[in-house]
Amino acid sequence: MPRPEALQPGRSGSSRTRRRLLNSLLLAVIAGTIFGLLLLVFQTVQTERRQREQAAQTVAVLFEIRQVERAALNGETGQRGYLLTLDRRYLQPYLAARAEYNTALQRLHSGLGEDLTPRQRELLAEITALTRTKFAELDEVVGLVQQGRVLDARRQVLDNHGFEAMNRLRFATREMEAIESAILREAIVEASQAEARLLPLLVGLIAALIIALLFGYRLIQRNALAEAEAEGAAALAAARDRADLLASELNHRVKNLFAVVLAIVQMSARDAPEAKPVVTRIADRIRALLTAHEVTQGTGSTRTGTLEQLVATALAPYQSDTMQARIDGPPVTLPQEAATPLGLVLHELTTNAVKYGAWKHGGEIQVHWRVEGDGVVLEWRETGVAAPPQAPERQGFGSMLMTSSARQLGGSVERRFTPDGLAVDIRFPLAPR
């Protein structure tokens, strides 16, 4: 029967075109999301950088404004001290302030830069003019004192021109400080707003990116699966055929190996009649292994056996009109690793029943099993034994074989001798261990 792809080639091409379109759209979404993340981070960094630069500029401007005002105050203090005491030591702070204020004004102009509001330009010009006017007045009074015209100097001071200039300088510097502080607060608010916008936008973009990546991962998986199914169907069928052939060949070789071993064992007893009982027991156990192997391999593609098959196979060689057995229980599929040890136990119990137990005395064997949890409990009961055997004083080879098989099963084998005959409870898990 042709595959659907062979019947509808246009459908396959349409599917590939649709997958390519989806891949392109997905890549575009991922690229756009990454670009948005980068742009958002860049804008936030730029806003914070501007806020830091504005903070540094405001601090520098406020410092230079206070330096100008401090120079005017120090100059006035030195001038008044010299006027009142005529002590030239008071000229030192005056001269220092006089030398400093021009430098402070230059740094103030440089710190404010060119990006000024109209009011800032007016205030800067006013501060510069008032500072120079103030120091001109101070220079004039000091000059009069140095000329000995102390009374004229005092009249100049009492003229109030210097006082008014100082007050106006104070008001101008305060207003300039207020404007710079307001600009800094605006920059801080802008940075805070950018940070507040950043978090939800960042979360949204990251969520969109994660969704796109998950969708892309799922799409890639589906594409890979579809391509693998389309390209590997023939190879998979061929591999299955080879695996079936190999399994059949291996099963055949295993059976041949059992047959060779059994023939060697039987030939070894030809010249040693006294060893025949031992050889017979060994041969019986080899046949039990072969039977368990055949049950677990099955026919065709069936590679696992059922518990009912294994029990029936172990009992079948000895059943007759006088050797009856009843078996019942739910359908149970045996793990392959459980079939061989369980087959050995059942073979040992069957041969013991023939030699010493129920079937030797015309009794009956009842085998029942049930599923408990993740395991199975198999009950072997022998009835109709006139004189049930007593428990042996020491453990024979058969008992050791059953104990070893129980360990391989990952379960337990419990034997009891009742008035009716032997009772055995076998417990083992269904899941391999």
What does the domain layout of the chain look like in residue ranges?
Answer: 15-225, 307-429
At residue 113, the pLDDT reads 77
If you ran DSSP here, which 8-state letter would residue 4 be given?
Answer: H
Q: How many CB atoms sit inside 10 A of residue 161's CB? A: 14
Q: What's the rounded Cα separation, in Å, for the pair 108 and 59?
A: 11
Give the bridge partners for 327, in sequence order. Answer: 367
At residue 388, the pLDDT reads 56
Nearest CA to 426 out of 344, 337, 324 is that of 344
At residue 37, the pLDDT reads 67
Helices (H), 269-368: 276-297, 307-315, 336-355
Q: Is 377 in contact with 419 (CB distance < 8 Å)?
A: no
Record: fold of 307-429: Heat Shock Protein 90 (3.30.565)
Rg (CA), the chain: 54
User: Any idea which residue has 């739910």 for tokens?
Assistant: 330
User: Residue 372: which H helix or E strand, with range?
Assistant: strand 364-372
Nearest CA to 59 out of 155, 224, 152, 187 is that of 187
At residue 75, the pLDDT reads 75
Q: What's the rounded Cα separation, in Å, for the pair 160 and 106?
A: 28
User: Residue 422: which H helix or E strand, with range?
Assistant: strand 422-429
Q: How many CB atoms sit inside 10 A of residue 309's CB? A: 18
Q: Please report the DSSP string for 25-53 in residue order.
A: HHHHHHHHHHHHHHHHHHHHHHHHHHHHH
Give the bridge partners for 90, in sequence order. Answer: none
Give the bridge partners for 412, in sequence order. Answer: 427
Q: Is 286 in contact with 268 (CB distance < 8 Å)?
A: no
At residue 181, the pLDDT reads 83
C-alpha torsion angle, residues 344, 347, 352, 357 (rounded to 10): 130
Tens-digit pLDDT string for the chain (433 aa): 444 444 445 555 666 677 777 777 777 777 777 777 677 667 666 776 776 776 777 777 777 787 777 777 777 788 778 777 887 887 788 788 777 777 877 887 777 777 778 887 888 788 888 778 877 777 877 887 788 787 877 777 777 776 777 778 778 888 888 888 888 788 787 777 777 776 777 777 788 778 877 777 777 777 677 677 767 777 777 776 776 677 577 767 777 877 878 777 777 667 667 667 777 767 776 776 676 556 645 443 445 578 998 999 888 888 888 889 999 999 999 887 888 888 888 988 998 898 888 898 889 999 999 999 999 999 999 998 866 556 565 566 777 888 888 888 889 999 998 888 899 999 999 876 5
CA 178 to chain centre: 54
Provide CB contacts within 8 A for 131, sequence distance 6+: 68, 71, 72, 101, 105, 169
At residue 423, the pLDDT reads 93
Nearest CA to 318 out of 273, 296, 288, 339 is that of 288
Q: What's the rounded Cα separation, in Å, for the pair 131 and 137?
A: 10
The whole-model pTM stands at: 0.39
Q: Reduce the DSSP state of residue 366 to 3 states and report it.
A: strand
CATH architecture under which domain 15-225 falls: Up-down Bundle (1.20)
Q: How many CB atoms sit inside 10 A of residue 86's CB? A: 12
pLDDT tens for 339-367 read 888 888 898 899 889 888 889 888 999 99
Q: Is 416 in contact with 423 (CB distance < 8 Å)?
A: yes
Q: What's the rounded Cα separation, in Å, for the pair 134 and 370?
A: 114
Q: Is 314 in contact with 291 (CB distance < 8 Å)?
A: yes
Q: What's the rounded Cα separation, in Å, for the pair 262 and 293?
A: 15
Half-sphere exposure of 363 (CA within 13 A, CB side): 25
